Chains A and B, each alone.
Chain A
Amino acid sequence: MTTGAVDHRAPGINSAGEIVWMEVIGGVYQVVSSVRGQITSPVGSYGGAEYPSLADDGGFLCSRPFGIFGDIVRYPGGGVYEFSTRNTQTGARRNPVRQNGISSNGKVIWGREFYQFGSLSTRRFFPRWNGGFPSGHSG
């Protein structure tokens, strides 16, 4: 599917056969579609976009890192499923798991990992069968 002297990684595919992957563009990963070409770009705090998963309607989920933090974002719309938090006194933090999933009909699953004293302590996953956003998150 791909060629060239840059990494193309973490593919996703929908029922129509459209494929997405993350590809190094401008020094960071961006999401590229076999049908639509590059479908993410730097915006706001976000530089890159990683680990896309693709639904049948063309909507996709991906990780948008910034520094040691990041969000799990759904497009179109840019709604956030998961974001990072940090205790500034202890340094403990919570980050989204970069890998995520979206089904052919839009159900989503994403993860959250907790770091204490610089080490990963717990990882949890959250299926969202109706595809909606968690309470208090932007959609």
Chain B
Amino acid sequence: MNRNGDFAYDNGGGVYVRFNGDSTSTLVTSGSQPCINDKRDITYVSSSQVRVLYHDGQLRTVGTGTDPVINSDGVVVFERLVDGFYQIFRARPALVTVHRLEATGLVCSPSDSIDQPLNVLPNPTVLENQPRIGAGASDDFGLVADGVTPLLFKVFLITAPAPGTVFNLDLSVISGGSITSGNLNQRLRVLDHRRLAQARPSRRLPTQVLPFSQPSERKTFP
């Protein structure tokens, strides 16, 4: 069951979902042992393969296993028989989360003018604990695009990336505003050994670098 009260179950070889408030269930696919997360992604088993049917219709196969569950970030855990014993496995694509910065993560002074850019403290321990936005929680604030307030991105991987791994972040305004000059990608900074460096196209991150980035942009609204 998810936070909305939707739940998934299997019956007769089919995976069904009952959305909260509905009086009937919907057959979504064939399979068994389903689990639904807060985004309505569903993980289930079909032909001994753990699969994920995302809320946007994409279907991915995770691997051989049974009894999968999925959380709101799309992390899937499941069991698999290995050398005669069941073990727990975890799988997930790279996760990008966005965060606002509290005073602990900013370099600023009360005497700064209102248009003074708020700089980010390049400390990975401090940045690790900044509040997340966009996750649907009740205390989940947005961010004002006033040109001086930074937005923090965190790229999270379960294991360290292989040397030479390339991360691409492409930032753009989808609707509702415009950029006064340049583009958002030009404002992107990457935390690299306790230093915020200008991001480059197809920037290669050393594997020991915590992959934080921080764009700050001035936008004008209609």
Contacts and interface: CB of A to CB of B under 8 A. Distances in A.
Nearest to A32: B88
B54 interface: no
Given A3-B87, A19-B90, A14 B71 contact: yes
B1 A101 contact: yes
A80 interface: no
A11 B75 contact: no
A19 B71 CA distance: 10
Given A14-B71, A107-B5, A9 B86 contact: yes
Interface in B74-118: 75, 77-79, 84-90
Contacts of A108: 1
Interface in A54-112: 101-105, 107-109
* Most chain B CB neighbours (cut-off 10 Å) among A2, A6, A102, A129: A2
Contacts of A11: 67, 69, 77-79, 88
Interface in A1-34: 1-15, 17, 19, 21
A53 B2 CA distance: 12
B20 A129 contact: yes
Contact of A104 (B3, B7, B90): B3
B88 A105 contact: no
B69 A9 contact: no
B71 A17 contact: yes
B87 A129 contact: no
Chain B interface bracket (under 10, 10 to 19, 20 to 34, 35 or more): 20 to 34
Contacts of B135: 15
A13 B77 CA distance: 7
A10 B67 contact: yes
A80 B32 CA distance: 27
A31 B2 CA distance: 21
A46 interface: no
B38 A104 contact: yes
Contacts of A14: 71
A8 B71 contact: no
B72 interface: yes
* Most chain A CB neighbours (cut-off 10 Å) among B67, B73, B78, B88: B88
Contacts of B5: 103, 107, 127, 129
A103 B2 contact: yes
A131 to B, nearest CB: 10
A13 B71 contact: yes
Contact of B67 (A6, A9, A17, A129): A9
A107 B3 contact: yes
Interface string B43-78: 000000000000000000000000101111101011
Contact of A102 (B1, B85, B86, B88): B1
B116 to A, nearest CB: 35
Contacts of B2: 103-104, 107
9 contacts: A1-B77, A5-B84, A8-B86, A11-B69, A11-B79, A13-B69, A13-B77, A15-B38, A15-B135
Interface of B: 1-3, 5, 7, 9, 20, 35, 38, 67, 69-73, 75, 77-79, 84-90, 135
